[in-house]
């Protein structure tokens, strides 16, 4: 999302997490509960200090408020960010301790997987709280790893956005994918099956090279991926991929990817617009995962997840069309639309 002042209230709550015995160190940031409990995944990552972890938690929590609002979900926005211990640690004990912290909030926050966490981690969390999703599926119910749903939503949004922005099918288009983790790898599979040509970059050589061998993708350095000769750039790693420098060097005319917080600064949205690059806002495109998490927590089935994920692509096209008609950045238009939904929820709750 665009990091700019909004009309929304400050975070509802920010909880410091620390348990030296368990190795737990981090934050739960709850940005909004206007539409329901704050929902958002648990990120487990290496942060140099707590200030960086806190900044990431606050930014990601705000993004979840916007994502959940535009996805039509009965949840506010929140995020947990945990610092990965530098030395050895008991992973099960750490996530059990995290679960106790979630339980202490009494349902104000619902957690799930995010970067660095897995279904197995969420099972440990579930041993100490019921306010968790992303658990193994059972009897056709929603659940399990949400990344395939994220990838499906991104792929379908990219198909629709390519029609809108480029007037083309994906077949024959060159897509530069930055990041080949769970979502990026699934997206690459879908793109290859659709006939797109792949250029990929990832700091993990083994993962990247395996994927390149499977799909016949061209491999480039992470530092070069945004500037390759491609039709579409798909950021699928961590945030901040779209800087003024990368946008000025970009040859792609469409940006559509799975990463959160792709814009390094608000000015980047204007630069994309000025250069004629169509930007599909990240939190609209990548909502498939939280849609699955929401459905699991609410006891819904996979058909309902599928229907909501299928609504992502037409929502993206409607947003891009409105932005084009108004001559404004899709990022700004998306933020305004989300803020309107959240503000309506605040008024209803008052």
Q: Which residues are catalytic?
A: 79
In angstroms, how far is CA 228 from the centroid of its own chain? 24
**E strand or H helix at 30, and its extent?**
strand 24-32
Q: What is the DSSP string of 224-248?
A: GGGGSS-SEEEE-SSS--B-HHHHH
Cα(181)–Cα(151) distance, integer angstroms: 11
Contact 234, 154 (CB under 8 A): yes
Cα(212)–Cα(307) distance, integer angstroms: 32
Buried b / exposed e across 83-113, counting CB within 10 Å, b at 16+? bbeeeeeebeebbbbbbbbbbebeebbbbbb
Radius of gyration of the chain (CA): 19
Cα(297)–Cα(282) distance, integer angstroms: 23
Contact 91, 22 (CB under 8 A): no
Look at strands 13-19 and 24-32 and give their pairing. Answer: antiparallel
- With H, G, I as helix, E, B as strand and everything else as coil, classify residue 21: coil
- With H, G, I as helix, E, B as strand and everything else as coil, classify residue 39: strand
Report angle CA 283, 204, 236 to the nearest 5 degrees. 15
- Between 50-70 and 330-349, two packed helices, what is the crossing angle to 10 degrees? 80
Cα(165)–Cα(276) distance, integer angstroms: 10
- Between 205-215 and 182-193, two packed helices, what is the crossing angle to 10 degrees? 10
């Amino acid at each position: 999302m665009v990091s700019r002042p909004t009309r929304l209230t400050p975070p509802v709550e920010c909880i410091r997490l620390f348990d030296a015995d368990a190795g737990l160190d981090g934050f739960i940031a709850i940005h909004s509960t206007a539409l329901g409990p704050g929902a958002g995944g648990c990120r487990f990552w290496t942060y140099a200090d707590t200030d960086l972890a806190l900044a990431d938690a606050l930014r990601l929590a705000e993004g979840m408020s916007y994502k959940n609002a535009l996805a039509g979900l009965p949840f506010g926005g929140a995020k947990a960010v945990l610092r990965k211990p530098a030395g050895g640690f008991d992973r099960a004990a750490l996530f059990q301790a995290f679960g106790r912290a979630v339980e202490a909030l009494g349902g104000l926050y619902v957690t799930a997987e995010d970067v660095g966490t897995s279904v197995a981690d969420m099972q440990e969390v579930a041993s100490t709280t019921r306010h968790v999703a992303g658990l193994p599926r059972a009897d056709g119910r929603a659940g399990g790893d949400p990344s395939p749903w994220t990838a499906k939503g991104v792929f379908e949004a990219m198909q629709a956005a390519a029609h809108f922005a480029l007037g083309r099918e994906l077949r024959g288009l060159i897509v530069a994918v930055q990041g080949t983790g769970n979502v990026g790898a699934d997206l690459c599979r879908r793109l290859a099956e659709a006939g797109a040509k792949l250029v990929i970059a990832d700091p993990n050589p083994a993962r990247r090279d395996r994927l390149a061998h499977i799909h016949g993708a061209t491999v480039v350095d992470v530092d070069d991926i945004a500037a390759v000769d491609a039709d579409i750039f798909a950021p699928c790693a961590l945030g901040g991929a779209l800087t003024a420098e990368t946008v000025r060097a970009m040859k792609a005319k469409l940006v559509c990817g799975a990463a959160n917080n792709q814009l390094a600064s608000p000015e980047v949205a204007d630069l994309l617009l000025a250069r004629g690059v169509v930007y599909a806002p990240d939190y609209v495109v990548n909502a498939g995962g939280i849609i699955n998490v929401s459905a699991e927590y609410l006891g819904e089935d996979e058909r309902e997840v599928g229907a909501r994920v299928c609504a992502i692509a037409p929502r993206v096209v409607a947003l891009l069309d409105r932005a084009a008609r108004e001559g404004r950045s899709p990022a700004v238009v998306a933020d305004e639309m989300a803020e309107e939904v959240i503000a309506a929820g605040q008024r209803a709750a008052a």
